[in-house]
Amino acid sequence: MKLEIGEVQIEDIKLGEQTKIEDGLLHVSRAELRKLLLEDKRLAAVEMTVARPGDKTRIIPVKDVIEPRVRLDNEITGYPGVTDKMGRVGAGRTLALKGAAVVTTGDIVAIQEGLIDMWGEGAKYTPFSQTCNLVLTFTPRRNLEAHQHEEAVREAGLKAAEYLGKAAENMEPDNINTYDLPAMNKRGEEVEGLPRVAYLKMLIAQGLLHDSYIYGIDAKETLPTWIHPNEILDGALVSGNCVAACDKITTYQHQNNSIILDLYDRHGKDLNFLGVVLTPELTTFTGKVRACEHATGLIKTMGADGVIISEEGYGNPDSDLLQNCKLLEEDGIKTVLITDECAGNDGFSQSLADTSSVAKAVISTGNVSHMVKLDPAERVIGNIGSLANLAGGSGDSFCDDGSIVCELNAIIGSTSEIGYHNLTARQY
């Protein structure tokens, strides 16, 4: 399967009368986009604001971040099973608006949404301080049930990203990246003798607004499944979760999964990339056993020599992470685990809720409990008061000078467990 992702570089976003791209400037029609989004009668209003890198702007609470894209040679231009009809993606050409993002916010849906600072100390901890963000602030209809509220905002963000992506459909990209991973039985001499490496991607699937969607299917309703990495890069996997903001894997991060991109970069050089197995992180003991046994069974059937396992969330999912590790290591398959730590404000508490002596290769993406002080913002998009209810925040987070003190827990993408940022930890 061969996928080309063409990059159309966006330097700035401007709200106006017509949606188009000129010399790196993305013009967005307020009226046209508002009309599209408010076709969903669950939404009463939407406000649009542009937040640029370096602006003294705080966005809170953030639901999702999505990269605007358009698929050129496929009948499915949007997100299959969600905003578009069902069909397979991952082949052909897709154009991505690099440097731009859609950020959704509004009334808080659950206590584990988070914030993005576009400047200062907070900007260091989120990758989305470096994108030019079209922020959509939604007001739902009165008495809308929480799951309907979450679904309406999730789908609206995806629709907006699809709408913006279409502005590039007749453009020549600035750069094209090609992802070509043939079937395992059709690979040539370039991979002969190289270690066979698979990627086991764990997905939040716990219900109570902790959800992920594969081709529109709630992951908790699925068994672990093999999927071509191109499908993930091309929009088959979207976020619907309200897990702690620090390790929430947004749709943008799924679209640009750094583990997949790194494995592609090394494929045919020092490893043979076999593909991806998606596995749900469930809440029941039976569900965990079933998912771990089935996921590791798929990996073993693929004939992997080694596996990278990434987690989403912490605490409850730690048991899935370590069980997957043990089942694979006991069969002689080497594992590398990628996880963040919940080690307390001082960093001395037990980092994971579970442990195993066979987990010897563990990459930490940071301590979610690390405290940071964020400077006063000149502009807040959303509701700063929601910080009192966010994971990592509290009523005591607000300082007299307008600054705030919170844990990394509250900052979107700060301890990304697919390595989509720059934090880590080391043992002294």
Half-sphere exposure of 73 (CA within 13 A, CB side): 9
- Contact (CB, 8 A) for 115 and 385: no
Indicate the DSSP class of residue 193. Answer: T
Dump the DSSP string for 305-321. Answer: SEEEEE--SSSHHHHHH
Q: Please name the amino acid found at residue 333.
A: I
Q: Cα separation of 341 and 359, whole Å? A: 14
- Contact (CB, 8 A) for 415 and 358: no
- Contact (CB, 8 A) for 309 and 336: yes
How far is Cα of residue 339 from the mean position of the Cα atoms in its chain?
Answer: 15
DSSP-based three-state secondary structure for 192: coil
- Classify the C-alpha dihedral 70-73-78-79 as positive or negative: negative
Q: Cα separation of 254 and 239, whole Å? A: 8
Best CA proximity match to 421, nearest among 290, 288, 263, 250: 250
Q: Which helix (H) or strand (E) holds 8?
A: strand 2-9
- Contact (CB, 8 A) for 203 and 279: yes
Our answer to whether residue 246 is catalytic in this structure is no
How far apart, in Å, are the Cα atoms of 146 and each of 141, 264, 361, 394? Answer: 11, 39, 40, 22
Q: How many residues does the chain have?
A: 428
How far apart, in Å, are the Cα atoms of 24 and each of 14, 131, 164, 185? Answer: 11, 13, 13, 43
Q: Cα separation of 127 and 113, whole Å? A: 16
- Contact (CB, 8 A) for 7 and 177: yes
- Contact (CB, 8 A) for 95 and 8: yes
408 CB contacts (<8 Å, ≥6 apart)?
125, 246, 366, 367, 368, 369, 370, 372, 392, 414, 415, 423
Give me the phi and psi of 347, to 5 degrees please: 80, 10
Which residue of the set 242, 246, 325, 406 is catalytic?
Answer: 242
Report residue 255 as tokens.
């679209």
Q: Is the peptide bond before 61 cis (omega within 30 degrees of 0)?
A: yes
Q: Which residue has the tokens 């992702």?
A: 5
- Known catalytic residues are 242
